A and B are shown apart, each in its own frame.
Chain A
């Protein structure tokens, strides 16, 4: 069974440019999460999709970040325009929709560097 995949693995862009990150969750996982880890710091929650709906987007830094999950399958996270402080590793995770909750499976991450 394929795990969570993310594309690209690395992205280097200049300040002001646009970048789109993609996440393909495990098939059948309705929960999809985006996180960011800045070097040496904690994993920060960005948002949570249940199927195609945004369940919680309280962690999104500002309106330069736009996440979508059309059709409830893969998700994209667009940063436009990118700023220096957006650099970090962006992780996507997915899990089954269940109560009580089950484990989240993480993708390998996309390392974003904004110059």
Chain B
């Protein structure tokens, strides 16, 4: 039941765009996006709570589709600092409790 992310890995040139998808077989309560650099802790990027919601911060934005089973992270005009592994963290609410699972991860490398 782990959400599947695609692509598994991507290499970009500085300034190029990328899209990372996170798909679940079941409806989600929320989606969190994190970036983890090698040897460091995951860093929170954003959280989406409602179907149809879109959020953005500088050149990174995300959407959460209406059926709440998929989220996409958009990286625009990528910078070297964007390199790392991106994880979606998903929450399902079952019987009043939240179950939190991370996606399979997408490794992103931005080249100069």
Contact B100 A102 (CB under 8 A): no
Supposing A56-B97, A101-B30 touch, asked if A42 and B41 sit within 8 A by C-beta, the answer is no
Q: Assess whether A64 is interfacial by the CB under 8 Å rule.
A: no
Q: Assess whether A100 is interfacial by the CB under 8 Å rule.
A: yes
Contact A33 B100 (CB under 8 A): yes
Contact B102 A35 (CB under 8 A): yes
Q: Assess whether B84 is interfacial by the CB under 8 Å rule.
A: no
Q: Assess whether A45 is interfacial by the CB under 8 Å rule.
A: yes
Q: Assess whether A104 is interfacial by the CB under 8 Å rule.
A: yes
Contact B101 A106 (CB under 8 A): no
Interface size class of B (residues with CB under 8 A): 20 to 34
Complex Cα distance, B49 from A28, in Å, reads: 23
Contact B91 A101 (CB under 8 A): yes
Complex Cα distance, B98 from A35, in Å, reads: 16
Contact A42 B100 (CB under 8 A): no
Contact A101 B47 (CB under 8 A): yes
**CB interface residues, B 12-48, toward A, < 8 Å:** 29-30, 32, 34, 36, 40-44, 47
Q: Assess whether A107 is interfacial by the CB under 8 Å rule.
A: yes
Q: Assess whether A7 is interfacial by the CB under 8 Å rule.
A: no
Q: Assess whether A91 is interfacial by the CB under 8 Å rule.
A: yes
Q: Assess whether A51 is interfacial by the CB under 8 Å rule.
A: no
Which residues on B sit within 8 Å (CB–CB) of A33?
100
**Per-residue 0/1 for A54-86: is the Cβ within 8 Å of any B Cβ (1 yes, 0 no)?**
011010000000000000000000000000000
Complex Cα distance, B41 from A105, in Å, reads: 9
Complex Cα distance, B90 from A42, in Å, reads: 13
Contact A43 B105 (CB under 8 A): yes
